[in-house]
Amino acid sequence: DTGVSQDPRHKITKRGQNVTFRCDPISEHNRLYWYRQTLGQGPEFLTYFQNEAQLEKSRLLSDRFSAERPKGSFSTLEIQRTEQGDSAMYLCASSLEGGSEAFFGQGTRLTVV
């Protein structure tokens, strides 16, 4: 399978705990994006990388959210001190540079209890 892969698929955590999600993009794609989707809404852009450079992060939801892509391949999204409002589907996508068609992974469903 050469699509975008996300791990884990589901995560249940207690409020206040930190969580980290991983995304492996399509191998030849140098752009990687993180989106969040809540119930009844479309995906909402959070941040993106071109290779290892994080070129936009102003739309991360708070300073509790951070993302890395250390070697320009896989990426991680971390949420510190989780809150119930963080419960959502976190989606990763990748694309070629200059390509508008982003291909999404299956997402990580986060539930904060």
Partner 1 sequence: DQQVKQNSPSLSVQEGRISILNCDYTNSMFDYFLWYKKYPAEGPTFLISISSIKDKNEDGRFTVFLNKSAKHLSLHIVPSQPGDSAVYFCAAIENSGYALNFGKGTSLLVTP
Contact residues for partner 1, defined by CB under 8 A: 4, 6, 31, 33, 35, 40-45, 48, 55-56, 59, 91, 93, 100-107, 109
Residue 18 or 51: the one with the smaller Cβ distance to partner 1 is: 51
Host H or E run for residue 96: none
CB of 81 to partner 1, least distance (A): 26
Question: Of the two residues 22 and 109, which places its CB atom closer to partner 1 in the complex?
Answer: 109
CB of 16 to partner 1, least distance (A): 26
Q: Write out the E strands in 8-104.
A: 10-13, 19-24, 31-37, 44-50, 53-56, 65-68, 75-79, 88-95, 103-104
Compute the least distance from the CB of residue 12 to partner 1, in Å.
15
Beta strand segments in 42-99, E:
44-50, 53-56, 65-68, 75-79, 88-95
CB of 101 to partner 1, least distance (A): 5
